[in-house]
Chains A and B, each alone.
Chain A
Amino acid sequence: MLEFFNAFQVDLLRLVFQVVNFLVLLYLLNRFLFKPVLGRLDERSTKISKGLEDAETAARDRELARAEREAAVAEARKEANEMISRANKIATDTRNEILTEARAEAEKVSTRAREEIVGEKDKAMAEIRGQVAELALAAAGKLVRREMDDPTQRRLVEEFLAEVKPSTKPSS
């Protein structure tokens, strides 16, 4: 065993020197390198994971905002469309109303005119009938040479004219 160590020049003092050297180095490295570096690694990893998390939240928020914006735009568009269609409907309704009113007015005017015409015509007819009766009576009086003014005769003539009237109407 000792021979083995001698072959490799293993010497207690040298061994101790190397061990001490390593232990001193280990102490210094641990104090000045490992602790700060490992701490920084931890800090970095927590920061990175936090950053990733934040980024994820931000992305989610952005997505949410986008959806909200889109919804708002869609809502606005829908409202505008509704407004336009309502306006259109109102316009059509108003037009229809005005048209029907105008048509009714025109109808009224024309009916009144027709009624007036009919009235005028009736009046004229009555007048004509009266004059014709007068003329007929006068003619008949000239023809019979006698006065035909008593009520009985006049009634007779009027009856005649009433009979005549249907036959005269188609010709008029």
Chain B
Amino acid sequence: MPEEEGESLIHVAIEAEPLFDIGPLTFTNSMVGALLASVLLLLAAWYITRRSSLIPGRMQGALEMPIELMAGIISTSSSRWRSYAALILGFFLIILTANWVGLLPGVGTIGITHIDDAGHEAVIPLIRPASADLNFTLGLALIAVIMFVYWGIRANGGWGYLKELLGQPIYMAPLMFPINLISEFSRLISLSMRLFGNVFAGEVLLATMLALTTAVVFVLPLAFFVPAIFLGLELLFGLVQAMVFALLAMTYISTAIAEHHSGGHDDNHGEGDAAHADHPTAADAATA
């Protein structure tokens, strides 16, 4: 088998591929993924609220379940959970849908044939799961960071927040201020890179499994089973990553609100989070 063929079989671009340009904006396939996820969510929302009843039917119950589950977790975080519950729920739902969109048949396989400068023929998928694009995860992480800084300032005042960054004994400020600043900033990186890395790795894993099982006719029957196992696994990882992102954002915000009660130990969170290289479990998120 030629090496080129194998290469093209496992082709998963690390960046979102451009589809067309609208003025200065290059429309990429991950934007299609994000829009698709948004539309699916809005459809689900429309379905739930269209004929909602106090006693939920099966479909309504199933669609409300993730909201109920997350609301249950968020409500235990702090007494002012109502003010940021929508943001956390939004994070959770958009990431969950964006992750699961990647598992739909046709996503990542149906695309436009594109011949690059070197003459290689490649298929550019029409839809790419949005969370496999750093633009998406970085955007969400930026919102999360801005929100917890905003909450920190709102809860403690601008000077109070600055004092938190300077550290407790004021003479340690020259050392603590950069550390705290990096800790705050590292949350941005850890949140975005963790999500991106996991979903992208999932995509690569699925593509690899498919390529491995379809590479030789001899193992072709496996193509019907092996990727399915990993699809199930990715279903779980998609949920876990959505929960991790949402719950970390929640803990950042709730600790920012409650900082004046138990200040000083939240820089551990940032470093701890940065240390998580691959799939952190929900338990990790709960302890963070």
The one of B38, B52, B134 in contact with A25, judged by C-beta atoms closer than 8 angstroms, is B38
Instruction: Report yes or no: A10 in contact with B138, Cβ–Cβ below 8 A.
Output: yes
Residue B46, interface by CB 8 Å: yes
Residues of A within 8 A of B135 (CB): 9-11, 14-15, 17-18
Is B41 in contact with chain A by the CB < 8 A criterion? yes
- Tier of interface size on chain A: 20 to 34
Residue of A nearest to B16 (CB): A9
Mask for B71-94, Cβ within 8 A of A = 1, else 0? 100000000000001110110011
* Listed residue (B42, B90, B140, B142) with the most chain A CB atoms within 10 angstroms of its CB: B90
Q: Which of A1-38 contact B (CB under 8 A)?
A: 5, 7-11, 13-19, 21-26, 28-30, 32-38
A43 at the interface (CB under 8 A from B): yes
Q: A19-B143, A36-B52, A37-B64 are in contact. Are A11 and B26 (CB under 8 A)?
A: yes
Our pick among B52, B93, B143 for the contact of A29 (Cβ within 8 Å) is B93
A145 to chain B, nearest CB (A): 147
B71 touches A41 (CB 8 A): yes
Q: Tell me whether A15 and B138 are in contact (CB under 8 A).
A: yes
Q: How far apart sit A107 and B229, CA to CA, in the bound complex (Å)?
A: 116
B48 and A33 contact, CB distance less than 8 A: yes
Contact of A22 among B25, B90, B133 (CB under 8 A): B90
**Interface pair B34/A18, CB less than 8 Å apart:** yes
Further contacts, 5 of them, CB under 8 A, given A9-B135, A26-B87, A32-B42: A13-B25, A22-B139, A30-B86, A32-B49, A34-B89
**Cβ of B14 < 8 Å from any Cβ of A?**
yes
A50 within 8 A of B: no
Contact B24 A33 (CB under 8 A): no
Binding site for B on A (CB under 8 A): 5, 7-11, 13-19, 21-26, 28-30, 32-38, 40-41, 43-44, 47
In the complex the two chains form, is B90's CB within 8 Å of A25's CB?
Answer: yes
Do A34 and B38 contact each other (CB < 8 Å), given the known contacts A22-B140, A41-B68?
Answer: no
Q: Which residues of A contact B52 (CB under 8 A)?
A: 36-37, 40
Complex A-B: 16 CB contacts under 8 Å:
A7-B15, A8-B15, A9-B28, A9-B135, A14-B16, A17-B135, A18-B136, A19-B139, A22-B90, A22-B140, A28-B45, A32-B42, A32-B49, A38-B67, A38-B71, A47-B54
- Binary flags per residue of B33-65, CB closer than 8 Å to A gives 1, else 0: 011001001100110110010100000000010
Min CB gap B105→A, angstroms? 24
Q: Is the CB of B25 within 8 A of A7?
A: no
Residue among A18, A29, A37, A40 making CB contact with B90, cutoff 8 Å: A29
Instruction: Pick the contact of A32: B24, B46, B54, B89 (CB < 8 A).
Output: B46
Do A33 and B45 contact each other (CB < 8 Å), given the known contacts A11-B26, A26-B90? yes
A residues near B15, Cβ cutoff 8 Å: 7-9
Q: Which residue of B lies closest to A42 (CB)?
A: B71
Q: How far is the CA of A47 from the CA of B134 in the complex (A)?
A: 44
Q: Does residue B248 face the partner (Cβ distance < 8 Å to A)?
A: no
Contacts of A33 in B (CB 8 A): 45, 48-49, 67
Closest chain A residue, CB of each to CB of B90 = A26
B188 proximal to A (CB < 8 A): no
Nearest CB of A to B274, in Å: 15
Contacts of A24 in B (CB 8 A): 38
Chain B residues near A15 (CB-CB < 8 A): 135, 138-139, 142
How near does chain B come to A15, taking the closest CB pair, in angstroms? Answer: 5
